[in-house]
Amino acid sequence: MDKLNLTAPTTIDELEKVMDAFTNQDPDGNGKKDTIGLSISLRDGVTTWMSSTDFLFGKTAIPGIWNKGADGQLQYGSIQPTVKQGVAKLAEWMKKGYLDQDAGTLDAGKAVESFIQGKSGMVFGATWMSGGWPFTANMNFDYKPIPIPAGIDGQQGFIGEPLSSMRFYFSKDFEHMDRLFQYLDEIMGPGFYDPDSDFANGWAEGYDYIMVDDEPVYDHDKIPGGFVDAKKYTLFYNDIQTPMKELEVMAKLGEGNAPETPYEKQFASRDKRWQEASAVLKTYIEKASVTDQFTGPPTDTMAQKSDLLRKIENETFLKIIYNQASLDTFDTFVEQWKKLGGDQITKEVNEWYTSVSGK
């Protein structure tokens, strides 16, 4: 960006100017046209967990999730008019060479490699991406987190984290549910900083922290034998989070504030870029985060038809994006989606929504 005298884009039009410059103005100075504007994965659809295009569609409707329509009913994002505009824009970008020509076969992890290698100007993803994986310490260029630009509808929007990301299933004969909650109480000690918790300072002394003068130290280089991420050995594999807790702590550090509790000191040992990205995200997450409004179990028709409908959706979108089919194919897809079970799924989803919301 410095070499090409570019500024961070805030709109799709500005984003296109940055992508065009990265694609056509030889930002790495090697005399070859071997750079692209944006790293994305399209193998599993246009919205994924990393290297995604969530932001392109704005906030009105995002593909793959259920959004609330103007009439208060839930509607499937992928069949909405603004999504058609977004798919058309991706086709335009593919034709202009702004995107990796192999994006349709790349998974999210593989797609981000072009950015890591300095062959791509931008990639969209979570704040933790700069915290050790997939970004690496030997990336030989400077990079920085920026807010997502406003999408097709003029609004910032991206798929936010669901309130739950893991489920446990129990036999009806399980007799010790009380023990599970005791376990939860214990391992939530770090996040809430319960000084009486066995895990108030960390998960395992000598593995993810050491004590020096009665104070926990989280510097990985000072742990004899090296750092071991002991929380990976809990039932939940990670910190048990209350909504926004991690973001609030990381944003606090990214804003330059000193850590106070042991929990905050643990996060202070993580990559500074992660902290900086969290501080940036905090400035717009409340207005831009869009969560899937359907959180119930699969409806009867979903169980029967979802795989087929998603297959038709992904194939149609890819054909349009690769300019192998006209944009009118989108309308044909919408008709197919509705006839092959989509209308019935929409009915069932809204019956569920009414039952849980009382509306």
Average pLDDT, the chain: 92
Distance CA 112, CA 128 (A): 14
**pLDDT on residue 304:** 96
Distance CA 107, CA 280 (A): 26
Q: What is the pTM of this model?
A: 0.89
**pLDDT on residue 96:** 97
**pLDDT on residue 281:** 95
**pLDDT on residue 308:** 97
Burial letters for 82-112: b for 16+ Cβ neighbours within 10 Å, e otherwise?
Answer: bbbbbbebbbebbeebbbbeebbebebebbb
Over the stretch 214-257, which tens digit does the pLDDT of each residue have? 889 988 899 999 999 888 888 877 766 666 888 899 999 999 99
Cis peptide before 162 (omega within 30 of 0): no
| Residue 35 contacts residue 27 (beta carbons within 8 Å) | yes
Distance CA 238, CA 235 (A): 8
Distance CA 119, CA 267 (A): 31
Between these two residues, 142 and 334, which has the higher pLDDT value? 334
- Per CATH, the homologous superfamily of domain 12-162+292-357 is Periplasmic binding protein-like II (3.40.190.10)
Report residue 218 as tokens: 């989280």
Specify the amino acid at residue 60: T
> Domain spans of the chain?
12-162+292-357, 177-288
- Arithmetic mean of pLDDT, 283-306: 95
In the chain, where do the E strands start and end?
36-39, 66-68, 74-76, 120-123, 158-159, 210-212, 215-217, 289-290
**pLDDT on residue 183:** 86
